[in-house]
Structure 1
């Protein structure tokens, strides 16, 4: 492989680190993200698309190398990665990196867990592989971030950077766990780049295809690493080359320094935001503002008009077409609706972290009380919010009541990031909420305990075994 290419740099970083060289804040962050993803996968079994993907991977046959999380089905490793990546991303409850607006863990963690099971790997090597894969994923996403425009160029092109960059980050993780050396990891990047994909039109106008994206990325990641092990190779200039990754996706406009600067010293992983609510991350501060107004005494029945001020670039995702955003037909569509999150914040909630999965059902999306509130919501650009975006996703909510009163609430920092972090107890509560009714209390405690001690586990199967105790069809613990 040629020297001094970007893929060689990333491969050298991956091969040159180890669990022992990881900063403590990185290992702690990865432990928490693994637990978070496991809870999301369990909770996602409530969705018809989850049943569909599990049925799909089971029908493919093949060697039982790795586990579909929740239910204990074992399938070939790439298919386990596919199913678990779909599960991890389907509730829109997975973590987010800013300002790249990537959801790194939903692709990288499923790819790493599947590869670890196939290889018989333990917790330390898995933790290390996930840390490196997340870092690679984020740095590739940041290479496509346009600082002048304050937005992702991937996003501007209609591309889902989460799955595109996740395929490459996951390939690095899988490659490490499957025993590839530095050259092999470079080849895995070279192959995965030809398998990366995802467009985000579903964010605007509907469809459940977005749920597939992280699964397809994780499947591609494991497949790429396996193919390198069987002799396939990739181009050394796959990233910066004339016909490479950045030319193909970004028309050659990328920032190489985002990949190389501080690599191995300055880790992005600890700064990835955890999600407190199961909805598109652009909507979270809208919900926070609405809940704050309710706590201050605003009566939803006396609301005459609501103005949601947000960064300009997010309006097309959570506010357009406005007629559709005011009348979501499904809980999934509601997750991408600014008006719905305002309504949910004013009349819903009650979950451990504020809003929970029970706030995003098909029935509540069509609830007359929420529909009436949504009809009163305008989504407009707020200049201050635009200036802060995408370091945060701010919201300014103004409510006009029937007595002529004006209520205003600003939320400039997202909950779950470094400025408003979720505590260890809150993340544990999120896992418990996601697993409750599907895992027994003993099973929940066992997963939490083993997740906290991930570096002590001899085989990653031991972490996943308690997650097989529930029947995904019945939706509760097996008896």
Structure 2
């Protein structure tokens, strides 16, 4: 990482010029399909999260703000001002810990960028192609700013070590760039970044000691981005050196130490979206390979009764999150605790469940305390594994070894995460995930219509951004 690198052309100016130059026609068919799948994924998660108490609070807050109605929000019958719609949808998108993850920065970009772009696009009547272009720009900038704060020596995000939630901080900036690029000039993108930097925020103490505030982080990022671009339209300006300046973004968040090459190297030539991993399972991403390894044993005919003991090998940095203290990880009291438990992931994979292997119904308070699962978890040790550590953080691998009662020892290695660049999910698999989520609050006809709208986004059959929300504004909030 570098100390306050002087840049002849400010980064925000370079980003603005690049964003203005991007055309829908420049995006590969694979990239366009990837973005359509992310829209479907995020909206399905938002539909599933709609009945949560925190989601109700977000809707009440948004409705109380007033203003000119411009955009739709999940579970809200009447349109809201675009910034408030973006807030609600961003809150819902991040509330189930089911949204996608960029590696190795470990930020979740789609949960802020997609709600922000959709709200702004609906408010201005943008085309589906403009939506896809805006999302592509927003995701790219969010990821690049996240990577600028990634320390290759410690293999960790400096944002995280400072207690900062890069997901919301970088998500706000990326969202602003994508919105400003919908119909703005390079200069408007630069100003939007300059203004949003004064709004971008998020601290992660709630991960340690409780509270539900983390759920609003992506919503507030999306709200900030929409608001910042509106302020640009009304004449407010931002500093061109907002990123690298003496009192800029990287000084404020990273104490002036950042990786400048991550921001603009290959910009316009290489897209980082392929490094954003879809989440097949509704749990901490560090646990996913454990689910897959255990599921492979299940498919091979191994049952819990066959097993004497289990050893889950994980990257050393992951141990404190999913394996320590081991007695707590073996006895989670709540669904949320189970989402961060390596032993629970093994139990879930061995037993199987819904969705793509396990789904939302497999992470409940009742199942966290289920005697059958507790019996499996009691057999699991979580240890650091050198092979996994060498791969981390480009993947979150796991090696599961089962010592069987008949004397055999079996090992399953999962070195590439399902849903990532080396083991991608198909649109059909993501549609299955969407249905498992959305069926909780939507009718089959409404789900089918939303699937079709996402698949045709940006094509001649595209019926507009509003259609995406036509069946989401009246989801069943009592589900």
- TM-score class normalised by the smaller sequence: over 0.9
- Give the equivalent residue in structure 1 for 2:363: 360
- Give the equivalent residue in structure 1 for 2:272: 268
Deviation readout 1:334-353 (Å, 9 max, x if unpaired): 2122222112112241x241
- Give the equivalent residue in structure 1 for 2:116: 111
Equivalents in 1 of 2:266, 2:140: separation in Å? 11
Equivalents in 1 of 2:315, 2:440: separation in Å? 38
Summarize the alignment of residues 84-123 of structure 1 with structure 2, pairs less than 5 Å apart. 84-123=89-128
Q: 1:285: how far off? A: 0.1
Greater Cα offset, 49-58 or 321-330: 321-330
- Give the equivalent residue in structure 1 for 2:470: 465
Equivalents in 1 of 2:23, 2:276: separation in Å? 21
Provide closer, same or farther for how the CA distance between residues 50 and 304 of structure 1 changes in structure 2, counting only shifts above 3 A: farther
Instruction: Select which of 300, 303, 312 maps to 1:296.
Output: 300
Provide closer, same or farther for how the CA distance between residues 246 and 421 of structure 1 changes in structure 2, counting only shifts above 3 A: same
Q: 8 Å contact 1:353–1:426 — kept in the other structure?
A: yes
Greater Cα offset, 423-432 or 44-53: 44-53
TM-score, structure 2 normalization: 0.93
TM-score, structure 1 normalization: 0.93
Instruction: Select which of 308, 330, 341 maps to 1:337.
Output: 341
SS at match of 1:410: strand
Instruction: Select which of 45, 48, 54 maps to 2:53.
Output: 48
Provide closer, same or farther for how the CA distance between residues 208 and 293 of structure 1 changes in structure 2, counting only shifts above 3 A: farther
Equivalents in 1 of 2:100, 2:394: separation in Å? 15
Summarize the alignment of residues 38-437 of structure 1 with structure 2, pairs less than 5 Å apart. 38-177=43-182, 179-349=183-353, 351-437=354-440
Q: 8 Å contact 1:72–1:465 — kept in the other structure?
A: no
Equivalents in 2 of 1:289, 1:220: separation in Å? 40
Equivalents in 2 of 1:57, 1:73: separation in Å? 12
- Give the equivalent residue in structure 2 for 1:445: 448
Provide closer, same or farther for how the CA distance between residues 110 and 389 of structure 1 changes in structure 2, counting only shifts above 3 A: same
Q: 8 Å contact 1:95–1:273 — kept in the other structure?
A: yes
Q: 1:300: how far off? A: 1.4
SS at match of 1:454: coil
Q: 1:320: how far off? A: 3.2
SS at match of 1:396: strand
- Give the equivalent residue in structure 1 for 2:4: none
Equivalents in 1 of 2:48, 2:157: separation in Å? 30
Q: 8 Å contact 1:432–1:444 — kept in the other structure?
A: yes
Equivalents in 1 of 2:278, 2:15: separation in Å? 25
SS at match of 1:466: coil
Equivalents in 1 of 2:405, 2:168: separation in Å? 46
Provide closer, same or farther for how the CA distance between residues 221 and 395 of structure 1 changes in structure 2, counting only shifts above 3 A: same
Greater Cα offset, 37-46 or 68-77: 68-77
Q: 8 Å contact 1:204–1:320 — kept in the other structure?
A: no
Q: 8 Å contact 2:453–2:463 — kept in the other structure?
A: no
Equivalents in 1 of 2:299, 2:25: separation in Å? 47
Instruction: Select which of 448, 455, 458 maps to 1:455.
Output: 458
Provide closer, same or farther for how the CA distance between residues 437 and 156 of structure 1 changes in structure 2, counting only shifts above 3 A: closer
Equivalents in 2 of 1:321, 1:207: separation in Å? 21
Equivalents in 2 of 1:127, 1:464: separation in Å? 16
Q: 1:467: how far off? A: 2.0
Equivalents in 1 of 2:210, 2:376: separation in Å? 22
Q: 1:308: how far off? A: 1.6
SS at match of 2:277: coil
Q: 1:221: how far off? A: 1.1
Q: 1:390: how far off? A: 0.9
SS at match of 2:15: helix
Q: 8 Å contact 2:244–2:250 — kept in the other structure?
A: yes
Instruction: Mark the runs of 5 or more structure 1 residues left unpaired by the alignment.
Output: none
